[in-house]
Structure formats: C-alpha cells, structure tokens
Amino acid sequence: MSNAYTGNVGLAMPASGDRTWNVPVNGNCNVLDALAPVGNLAVIPTEFPSASLNVHVAAGQFVRQDGSIGTFAGATSQAVTSSATQVLYLDGTAAWALVVGAAYPATPHVRLATVVTGAGTITSIADNRQAFTVCGSVADGVNLALGTATGTQLGTAATQKLGFYGATPIVQPANTTDLRTALINLGLLASGGATPLNLNGGALAAGSAAIADGGNVAVGTTTGTKIGTATNQKLGFFNSTPVVQPTMGAATASGSWTSNEQGMLNTVWTLLRALGLGS
C-alpha cells in the first residue's frame, strides 16, 4: 500500500499493512534533520555514543540585531574541556565566531547549547537555541544594551523616518530648522509654552539673537558680565555699524568751563554717536 503524507512538512505515514516501514521512517528522519528549526545550529556529540571531548555544531543561519541574516559554516569537531559544564554560542562582538565559555555573556550572542563533560566523553548536551522571538512592545523594565566600540545607529540614512513618544515619524530635520521645532516634531519636546535654555554656564555661540518683546537680560551679581571681552571687538547699538572701543585720551576737567572741558564734552558726544547711543 502507498504512504500517506502529513500536510505541513510531508512526513511519510505508512499504511497498516506495509512491511518495509524502515524506508519511510528513515526518510522522515532525514526530513526532520534538514528542517531549520530542528537541525539549524544543533550541537551533538561527534560520535554516538560519545567517545571524545568533541562536539559537532551544525551549519545554519540566524538573524542579527539589525535584521540581516548571518550564516555560520558549522564545526565538525569542536573541543570542550573535560569534567566541566560549558556553553557554546556565536559571539556578536567577534564576527559571530563560535565560542566555548563558562557562561553566556551580556553582550550580543546566539545561544547554542550547554555541554556537560566527564573525564573523557560528553555526558549530556542541553539545547539552548531560541526557537521563538517575542512580538509586541518592549516589556516594562526591559533595557536595550548597546555596543561600546562601533556603536549603534537609529536610522542609517537621512531619508529614513523616526519619531518618539507617539509623534509621527519624520526624516532628519534640515540644518535651517529651528531647534525647538525640530525637537517638537520628533516628539522629544512637548509643544506649547515658553521653552527655557539653560547651558549651566556653558558658552553660547550664535550668528544672531532675537529677544521677544518684554524679554529682559538678567546678569550676575558677583563677578558680573562683560559686553565685549577685548578692546578690538566691535560693538554697536540701535542698528549702528559696530566699532572697536573708542579712544578718549587722558584728560581731567577743571572747576571752570574752558576749551579743555569743551573738548572733553565733544569727545564723549562723538563716542556716543559712534556707538549708536545718540543720533
């Protein structure tokens, strides 16, 4: 009688009257062994039963953190230490090389198996491969640990869109976009209100600054504040062309009005007009 076959992976099901069951059973074993969820990156003893301190790691593929597919070529005879419990994994910090260690690391890796050995043979192998990934949002309290060498990019091109805290994702803001507007559009700052900017004593470099009507400039009461930190820096008021510090010369007014006092007054008058403090 002919075999029937399962609907998902096509395993053979011999009829009750068949005698050569070994053929479909052996075929089913080959089918199962070739299935990626079964044989992919599987760790088994090199011999059956184990006669050495070596394991066989099957070739297979895995999904890297960036979503790309990684491939491991397999290891036909990987040595392990005697009389110990060890784990096998692919190390994401070492180009996904096969590593035998005492415990799984906190850094990116693909778990394969825990191997227990005796004096000269493999005692047991526990399969540690992760068959399923969790769908949905990140659970409360779960953190994302990133690398400390190359680092991680959120968005690998300026045209890719990104948004935070429920904001509609946008492309990278242009270099002429107002900083506050960019932060609001990304969802990193709530809209509305008057946003302060506190640099905690740091320097602020800008091409120009506009103070809203009614806004004031508060300065310190201890050291004080300088407007211009050198005599050759230029300053102007009320849209006048900026000038360096005017030179007044050394002069002392006497107790009576003379040409000396007249000259001093004219110098101050000229200075004020040059700075734009008088028309």
Residues 6+ apart with CB under 8 A from 71: 59, 60, 61
Establish if 171 belongs to a structural domain: yes
Q: Is residue 152 part of a domain?
A: no
**99 vs 271: which has the higher pLDDT:** 99
Does residue 48 sit in the same domain as residue 113?
yes
28 and 47 part of one domain: no
Max mean pLDDT range (2-16, 54-68, 164-178, 249-263) = 164-178
At residue 100, the pLDDT reads 97
* Residues 77 and 29 occupy one common structural domain: no
* Whether residue 97 is found in the same domain as residue 120: yes
| Residue 1 clears pLDDT 60, i.e. is over it | no
* pLDDT recorded at residue 120: 96
Choosing from 112, 127, 142, the residue where a domain stops is 127
Mean pLDDT calculated for residue range 124-149: 80
- The answer to whether position 60 is within a domain reads yes
Into how many domains does the chain fold?
Answer: 4
> For the segment 73-109, what is each residue's pLDDT rounded down to a tens digit?
999 999 999 999 999 999 998 999 999 999 999 888 9
pLDDT averaged over every residue in the chain: 88
Main-chain phi, psi angles of 184, to 5 degrees: -65, -45
Q: Which domain holds residue 173?
A: 157-194
Question: In this structure, are 50 and 113 located in the same domain?
Answer: yes
Q: Are residues 44 and 27 in the same domain?
A: no
Question: Based on the domain organization, do 118 and 55 belong to the same domain?
Answer: yes
DSSP annotation string for 171-213: -PPPTTS-HHHHHHHHTSS-SSS------TT-----S---PPT
Whether 91 and 119 share a structural domain: yes
* pTM over cut 0.85: no
- Helix, strand, coil shares, percent, the chain, to 5: 15, 20, 65
Residue pointed to by tokens 């030179």: 247
Tell whether the model's pLDDT for residue 62 goes beyond 80. Answer: yes
Torsion angle in degrees (nearest 10) through CA of 49, 50, 51, 57: 130
The verdict on 243 and 182 lying in the same domain is no
Hunting for tokens 């990156």 — which residue is that?
A: 41
Quote the tokens at residue 181: 């507007």
- Same domain assignment for residues 56 and 11: no
Q: How confident is the model at residue 253 (pLDDT cuts 50, 70, 90)?
A: confident
pLDDT digits (tens, 9 = 90+) for 11-52: 788 887 777 888 888 888 887 776 667 888 999 999 989 999
Weakest-pLDDT range from 80-94, 97-111, 125-139, 233-247: 125-139
Greater confidence (223 vs 148) lies with: 223
Look at residue 212 and tell me if it is in a domain.
no
